[in-house]
Amino acid sequence: MDVDPLADTVPPRYAVESDDEDEYNPLPSQSSSAKPRAAPSVNIKIVGNIATKCPLAVMSGPAAAHWAGGAALGEQKGAVYVNSKMVGLLFVPSWTDSVVLVSETARHTTLPLWAQHQYAQAISNHFAPTSMVLLDTYFSKGYISSSDPPTGAPVRHLAVNHTPSANLRVPLYAPPNLVHTTSAAFMALLYLQSLEPQGSKVPGLLLLAPSSTLPPQPPSTIGAGEGGPIPLSDDAEWSADEMELVQSTVCTVLGAKTPSVWKGRSTLSRGSSEASKRRTGDVGDGGMYI
């Protein structure tokens, strides 16, 4: 007769269903009586006696800081505060009747995800813009495309309630690529407002400048900002030609009273070299071209 020497042994640990006392769990238990965490409060204050019901430009991120340095915006007319922290600067340039908001630049703060929609809502409710043009950045090496990418990553655009002119020299920012910054909150808000029964279809155009720098994760809190003039950075990765393209498109959308040319430094050697270093996004360069 065959004898199984393991017949009377204890089954292995993995064959036993675990219970509450099987292992120590360092995570706090989620009891039914635990209250959900309340969403942080967002207090938005807009300072300055500035006209409303006119075209509005919302320029965000490092590309906006570089653009503003050569766009002849003039004297600062106001500011936007979020929870007492300065987030944006307001200008009324002499070359247009529109309002320009330079927001979340390198000198200011980046908004957390939980504050982006309320920020866009407050700006929209206060200024009631008749049209909007926005500027932000996209990660050029992560841009997904089914066709051969151009020689250099171009400035791209997204439009809502707006049919771009045939003369627009800016290609589309095509799906499945996404925008995760505050500019997306503005564009989504314009679209949702157009779906309301009494909502107005405010045209919006978002310009996205290419960047070879991977964008950082949004912060969990709002950091402190500081005012003052916005310098024209020597180490910006955008060439003068790209900024002039942005400037001409902005002037067209806003309806500039007089032609305005982006006036950068006489030589942007480092910026031009950085722009020339941007690749087309091939797989071998860390891109997502398929």
Q: Is 60 helix (H, G, I), strand (E, B) or coil?
A: strand
In one-letter notation, the amino acid at residue 162 is H
| 44-259+279-285 placed in CATH 3.40.50 | yes
> Domain segments of the chain: what residues?
44-259+279-285
Q: Is the peptide bond before 259 cis (omega within 30 degrees of 0)?
A: no
pTM, full prediction: 0.76
Decide: 189 and 117 in contact? Cβ < 8 Å: yes
- What pLDDT, on the 0 to 100 scale, is given for residue 286? 43
The pLDDT, as a whole number, for residue 227 is: 53
Query: Any residues with CB less than 8 A from the CB of 118 and at least 6 apart, and which?
Result: 42, 44
pLDDT value of residue 182: 95
Q: For every one of its 290 residues, what pLDDT tens digit does the chain have, with 9 covering 90 and above? A: 566 766 666 666 666 555 555 566 666 666 555 566 777 889 999 999 999 999 999 999 999 999 998 999 999 999 999 999 999 999 999 999 899 999 998 544 789 999 999 999 999 999 999 999 999 999 998 999 887 766 778 999 999 988 777 678 899 999 999 999 999 999 999 999 999 888 789 999 999 999 988 888 888 888 755 555 555 555 578 889 999 999 999 998 888 777 678 887 543 333 344 444 443 443 344 444 34
36: helix, coil or strand? coil
d(CA 181, CA 93): 25
Q: Give the phi and the psi of residue 68 in degrees, each rounded to 5.
A: -65, -30
Helix residue spans in the chain (DSSP H)? 61-69, 113-127, 182-195, 240-254, 269-277
For position 288, what pLDDT does the model report?
Answer: 43
